[in-house]
Amino acid sequence: MIDIEALMADFAVRQAERQVQVAEEIRQLKTAIFPRLLEASIARVEIRFDGCGDSGAVEECACLDAAGAAIPCPEVLLMEGEADTAERAGSKELQSLGQALEQLTYLALECHHPGWEINDGACGELAIDVAEATFVLDCSLRFTATDDHSTEL
């Protein structure tokens, strides 16, 4: 017989462990990404995402200079071990700055808006202001609603 309470308790423990892991991965990525943005004279990064129908993706990653003009994301690699994650721990594969920015976005969504890709989904942007050293996740959650009425006449 299945002990639902034990299953739920185990699930809660695993979820809490994953939240700690994701928070650490986000911290590592921010630490690794920030100096690369400074070195490339990038003033702002805007990473747009959209999700619905049980799928979602980062749609665009725009790097901007101080004047607000688009510039290409530099083809630089993060150094080995610089932004290790649980999935990549011990891996010799290097990660590009673009990949790290995308991964940071997915982790931020997992941490702060789990299920952002389900049903009507969510859309938004992760904005990085390099001068202010801020990372801000703006997320618009979509949903279908009904407003039902019943009136006896």
Interval 46-69: pLDDT, tens = 999 999 888 899 999 999 999 999
pTM of the entire predicted model = 0.85
Number of independent structural domains in the chain = 1
Q: What is the mean pLDDT of the segment spanning 84-91?
A: 50
Q: What confidence tier does 80 reach under pLDDT thresholds 50, 70, 90? A: low
Contact by Cβ (8 Å): 47, 126: yes
Residue pair 19/111 in contact by the 8 Å Cβ criterion: yes
Per the domain annotation, does 101 fall within a domain? yes
The overall average pLDDT reported for the chain is 91
Examine the pLDDT at 85 and tell me if it is beyond 90: no
Domain range for 100 is 4-141
Give a yes or no: residue 146 inside a domain: no
The reply to whether 149 falls in a domain is no
Dihedral-angle region of residue 106 (phi above 0 means left; psi in -120 to 50 means alpha; beta otherwise): alpha
